Amino acid sequence: MQKYRRIQRRRALFHLIDWLVIILFLGVWVVARKPVPTEKPISYVEESGHVLVQLAEPSKHTETGIHLDPQWTLYGDGTLIFKADPRDALWRAHLSPGDIQHILNVIINQDTFFGYAQQRYGNITPTSDDDSMFLTVNANGQQKAVMLVGELPSQVASDGQASHLFAIEQFLLAYHPASAVFYAANPDSDHDADDGQ
């Protein structure tokens, strides 16, 4: 009789363990399949001529001001015009709204672009103006432009603001969609270049 009770207790314990494993598995499965809460979408003007993000280097000073040479420009309709190399020709791609949200999220939320007060960041010397970039962002109801001068020097690397802004610059310069085609800024000058045809 004792042996029978011991066997019954073991069976009950094994059933209890089985049910606990099943409940634990179902609990993990429910939590894992639950959608990850996404951040609030970043608002922007969805027009073709509206610049959302631009990275441009000043090319020359004229009487009317500084002439900018755009290196990377994202428009509200998803058009991206960029140079894969500063001496390269322009390339064009069309980004989806999800891609645009990703780029704006990196700039605005991850690297907190609008949270910085200075207008210039980097290694500011009389000769460093030759290696400078203007970063302009116009989204989420805000517009701001900053100048990134030179590269992020090691002594400034501890400056969180500058390191975030230079991270944005590197992110944009490295963002080259595989679907890009050669782009002629003036289609009348080269009819074959605009759409890669």
- The predicted-structure confidence for 49-105, as pLDDT tens digits, reads as follows 899 999 998 876 555 566 788 899 999 999 999 988 767 788 999 999 999 999 999
CATH number at residue 137: 3.30.1560
Q: Which amino acid is at 143?
A: Q
Q: 152 lies in a domain?
A: yes
**46, 54, 94 from 80: Cα distances, Å:** 13, 10, 6
Q: Which domain holds residue 159?
A: 51-189
Pair (23, 57) in one structural domain: no
**17 and 68 share one domain:** no
Residue 92, beta-bridge partner list: 81, 181
Together in a domain, 55 and 26: no
Q: Is residue 42 part of a domain?
A: no
pLDDT tens digits for range 139-160: 999 999 998 887 655 544 456 7
- Contact 71/81 with Cβ under 8 angstroms? no
Domain count, the chain: 2
3-state secondary structure of 185: coil
Burial class (CB in 10 A: 0-12, 13-18, 19+), 114: middle
Whether residue 60 is contained in a domain is answered as: yes
CA distance 98 to 113: 20
Is 90 exceeded by the pLDDT of residue 138? yes
DSSP letter (8 states) at residue 128:
G
Considering the domain boundaries, does residue 67 fall inside one? yes
